[in-house]
Amino acid sequence: MPSPAPYAQVQPQQVPLAIVGGTHFGRYNKISLEETWNFIVSDGFLVPYAGYKNVLTLATATDGRGLYSSFVGNLMIAVIGVAVYKIQALPNGTLVSTIVGTLATNSGDVYIAENNNSQICITDNAFVYVYSYAGAGSFRSSDPSTGSSFSFPFTSPGYISFQNGNLIIACSDSTNWVLSAPNDATTWPNDPAHVGSIQTKPDKCQACVPVPGGGNNLFVFGRNCMELWQFTGTALFPYQRASTFNIDYGCINPASIAHLKNYVVWIAVNEQSGPVLMVSYGGVPEAISTDGIDFQLGNLTNPENCTGFLYQQDGHVLYQFTFPTDNISYAYDFETKLFFNVSDENLNYHPAREVVYFNNNYFFVSLEGGNVYEFSSNFTTAQYDEDTIKVIPRIRICPPLRLPDQLYYTITSLGFTVENGQPNRMYNTMLTLGAGSDITTEDGSLLSTESGVDLITEFSTTSIVGTSLTEEINLAVSRNGGMTFGSFWTKYMNPTGGFKSRFIYQRLGIANDSTFQLRFNGYGRFVVTDGLVDIYR
Written in H, E and C, the secondary structure of 252-312 is CCHHHCEEECCEEEEEEEECCEEEEEEEECCCCCEECCCHHHHHHHHCCCCCCCCEEEEEE
**Distance in angstroms (rounded) separating the CA atoms of residues 235 and 41:** 51
The CA-atom distances, in angstroms, between 238 and each of 62, 82, 204, 253, 431 are 41, 35, 21, 27, 77
For residue 6, give the H/E element and its range.
none
Instruction: Look at residue 424 in the predicted model and tell me its pLDDT.
Output: 62
Q: What values do phi and psi take at 493, rounded to 5? A: -70, 155
Cα dihedral: 26, 29, 34, 37 (round 10): 110
Give the E-state strand segments of 337-425 in sequence order. 338-341, 352-358, 361-366, 370-376, 381-385, 388-391, 394-397, 409-418
Q: Is 530 exposed, middle or buried (0-12, 13-18, 19+ CB in 10 A)?
A: middle
**Distance in angstroms (rounded) separating the CA atoms of residues 401 and 513:** 6
Per-residue DSSP letter, 50: P
Q: Is 4 exposed, middle or buried (0-12, 13-18, 19+ CB in 10 A)?
A: exposed
The answer for residues whose C-beta is within 8 angstroms of residue 219's C-beta and 6 or more apart is 207, 208, 209, 210, 211, 226, 227, 228, 229, 264, 280
First to last CA, the chain: 31
The single-letter code of the amino acid at 294 is D
Of 481, 437, 483, 445, nearest to 463 by C-alpha is 437
**Distance in angstroms (rounded) separating the CA atoms of residues 291 and 296:** 9
- Strand order in 128-132's β-sheet? 111-114, 119-123, 128-132, 138-141
Q: Per-10-residue mean pLDDT for the chain, 537 residues long?
A: 56 91 90 95 95 91 92 96 96 95 94 97 97 92 86 96 96 95 96 93 93 88 93 92 86 95 92 89 84 90 95 93 97 96 97 95 94 94 90 95 91 92 59 59 61 60 54 93 91 79 90 95 92 93
Q: How many CA atoms lie within 13 A of 181 on its CB side?
A: 11
Check: CB of residue 221 under 8 Å from CB of residue 111. Answer: no
Instruction: Look at residue 502 in the predicted model and tell me its pLDDT.
Output: 83
Q: In Å, how far from its chain's centre is CA 11? A: 45
For residue 322, give the H/E element and its range.
strand 316-323
Which domains, from first to last, does the chain contain? Answer: 12-46+397-425+470-536 (2.60.120), 431-466 (no CATH)
The CA-atom distances, in angstroms, between 54 and each of 245, 384, 390, 467, 519 are 45, 5, 12, 31, 25
Give DSSP secondary structure letters for 458-508.
SS-EEEEEEEEES-EEEEEEESSTTS-----EEEEPPPTT----EEEEEEE
The CA-atom distances, in angstroms, between 88 and each of 85, 96, 133, 378 are 10, 6, 12, 22
Instruction: Look at residue 95 in the predicted model and tell me its pLDDT.
Output: 96
Q: In Å, how far from its chain's centre is CA 215? A: 30
Question: Please, which residues bridge with residue 250 across strands?
Answer: 269
The single-letter code of the amino acid at 37 is W
Instruction: Look at residue 2 in the predicted model and tell me its pLDDT.
Output: 58
3-state secondary structure of 114: strand
**Distance in angstroms (rounded) separating the CA atoms of residues 360 and 49:** 19
The single-letter code of the amino acid at 439 is I
For the whole model, what pTM was predicted? 0.88
Per-residue DSSP letter, 442: T
The answer for residues whose C-beta is within 8 angstroms of residue 135's C-beta and 6 or more apart is none
**Distance in angstroms (rounded) separating the CA atoms of residues 308 and 495:** 39
**Distance in angstroms (rounded) separating the CA atoms of residues 207 and 257:** 8
Q: What is the largest CA-CA distance in the chain?
A: 113
The answer for 31, left when phi > 0, alpha when psi is -120 to 50, beta otherwise, is alpha
